[in-house]
Amino acid sequence: MIIKENSKTHIVGAGIGGMTAAINLSKFGKSVIIYEKNDSIGASRDGDLEGIENWILSKNLPESIAECGIDFNGIPKFPIFEFFVHLNGIKPVKIKSQEPFFYIVKRGTSSDSFDNYLAEICNSLNVKFLFNQNHDISTADINATGAYRAAAYIRGAQIVTDLPNQVHLLLGKEFAPRGYAYLIINDGFGTMATAFKKSARGNDPLSPCIQYFRTLGFDFKVKSTYANRGSFNLPNLWDIKNPIKIGEAGGYQDYLFGFGMRIAMYSGLSAAYKLSGKNFQSKIINRELNIKRRISFANRLLFENLSINNAQYWVARFEKSKEPLNILRAAYDWNWKKIIKSIKLTNQYAIRFS
């Protein structure tokens, strides 16, 4: 149980959202305690490579990270300007952009992880971390405990390889039933993962992914494997009970491809504004996040219902486009048709408005 020190702000969960909230609360003059159930920062992750996307929010990536009070240039990261899409065994298609699609960061406990980078900023601002604290959330100010109800499952492998840096997206039900798989390689280290809905047979689609890349002639060694999950639960807008829920705990997630990090950070910033009496700024951010997550939900429904021909059409559009990032950005624009479609399809979908 949390013993409340009234002058302090209490956050449960030292993940991306919780630490962003703490950084901003400290900058607004609050003193902050974060309770973390694990014994260190990043311990809930597996050292995997993840991408911070550059298309969902209206501000571009460097600008929005700066708005979250974080020095973008200092983040250990590398930009991705191109990736390959593999669809139905046809020749992989290269998709190239002028601006980075996303920046890859490492998650986990290592000193070069994004988690550690945020923790260092927290430490410089005197945020207090209390570890091994599995807390009663109801007495906190912010609930930042991450995924709580599994709706998507992730199986991954860390690999070592001599292959050059590259990123691949793999689509198809044998690799990721109603989902997607990916391979990211950076400096001899790589993450191969599949994010999928639980299939009826309960199969693990990671093995076909590994096999597929081996068949293409990719030479790599699997160092370790991991399993994780994602929450995809859109909360009711009238759910305003305390504590404030941020990140995945509050359903702040990209429902299309699970790009939850920037959204988690923004929801942390919004909570910091709210707890510092800056309600107007908090509302503006929440409005954007609520629109974007609902659009991403509609996009997910459309993605899961794509026919093979439609999927090929979209891949070809991305390939031919001079700036495919603009297609992605347009896909996250407000669009009534999409919202209505998402409402109609909600019942067919495994996630709920909770």
Q: By the criterion CB under 6 A, which residues form the site for ligand FAD?
A: 12-18, 35-38, 44, 48, 50-52, 133-135, 144-146, 154, 156, 193, 228, 230, 247-249, 253, 258-261, 264
Contacts of 286 (CB under 8 A, 6+ apart): 267, 270
Give the three-class secondary structure for 269: helix
Question: And the tokens for 297?
Answer: 């939900």
- Residue closer to ligand FAD by CB (options 213, 266) is 266
Which residues are 353's β-sheet partners?
234
d(CA 338, CA 334): 8
Pair 160, 76: CB distance under 8 Å: no
- Residue closer to ligand FAD by CB (options 134, 211) is 134
Q: Minimum distance between the CB of residue 41 and ligand FAD, rounded to whole angstroms?
A: 7
Q: Minimum distance between the CB of residue 35 and ligand FAD, rounded to whole angstroms?
A: 5
Give the three-class secondary structure for 43: coil
Residue bearing tokens 């280290």: 189
Q: Minimum distance between the CB of residue 340 and ligand FAD, rounded to whole angstroms?
A: 27
- Residue closer to ligand FAD by CB (options 3, 322) is 3
Which amino acid would we find at residue 281?
A: Q
Q: Minimum distance between the CB of residue 93 and ligand FAD, rounded to whole angstroms?
A: 20
Q: Minimum distance between the CB of residue 336 and ligand FAD, rounded to whole angstroms?
A: 27
Half-sphere exposure of 325 (CA within 13 A, CB side): 19
Give the three-class secondary structure for 55: coil
- Residue closer to ligand FAD by CB (options 100, 230) is 230
H runs (alpha helix) in the chain: 16-27, 61-67, 114-124, 206-215, 261-275, 279-304, 308-320, 324-331, 336-345
Q: Minimum distance between the CB of residue 15 and ligand FAD, rounded to whole angstroms?
A: 2
Beta strands in 128-287 (DSSP E): 128-130, 142-143, 152-161, 166-171, 180-186, 189-196, 220-230, 244-245
Contacts of 91 (CB under 8 A, 6+ apart): none
Q: Minimum distance between the CB of residue 226 and ligand FAD, rounded to whole angstroms?
A: 7
Half-sphere exposure of 265 (CA within 13 A, CB side): 22
Output the residue with the shortest Cβ distance to ligand FAD: 15
Q: Minimum distance between the CB of residue 89 and ligand FAD, rounded to whole angstroms?
A: 25
